Amino acid sequence: MRTKVAVAVGFSIAAVAVAAVIAGWWVLSGNMNAAYYTQVDNARTEELESRGGVIDPTGGMSLLYRLPAYDEQGNGREVSFGTERQLREGAYLKLEVEPIRGVVGWEEVSFDELPQEAQAHLNGPDRP
């Protein structure tokens, strides 16, 4: 009887471990990336100073942006990401955001390329 219980517990633990590995791979492989949209506001930057060393927490970036961003449903959150240079004031960005790593990429887009729900939260070309 004890052997059957031990085998059942062992299989349960193995199943949970396999599920955790698969879930971790799924998240880290980029399958849960989300697109967020924002507008560049250079007043919301912070200059970063590299401390050098083996691991540089700034990633070699000189500026940190902290901007409000919106997904395709218009849900907002603050995102932060580093750049090596100041971005064009008022530019619209499509951000690639991963759950653990945060912003992993961005590209400039036109206002018309933004989802309508995101457009409602950002200043359009005709709005201040």
Mean pLDDT along residues 1-14: 72
Pairing assessment for the beta strands 63-70 and 76-83 based on DSSP bridges:
antiparallel
Q: What is the pLDDT of residue 61?
A: 75
For the domain 33-119, what is the CATH superfamily, name and number?
Protein of unknown function DUF1093 (2.40.50.480)
DSSP states along 22-55: HHHHHHHTTTT-EEEEEE--GGGEEE-----SSS
pLDDT-derived band at 100, boundaries 50, 70, 90: confident
Distance CA 64, CA 61 (A): 8
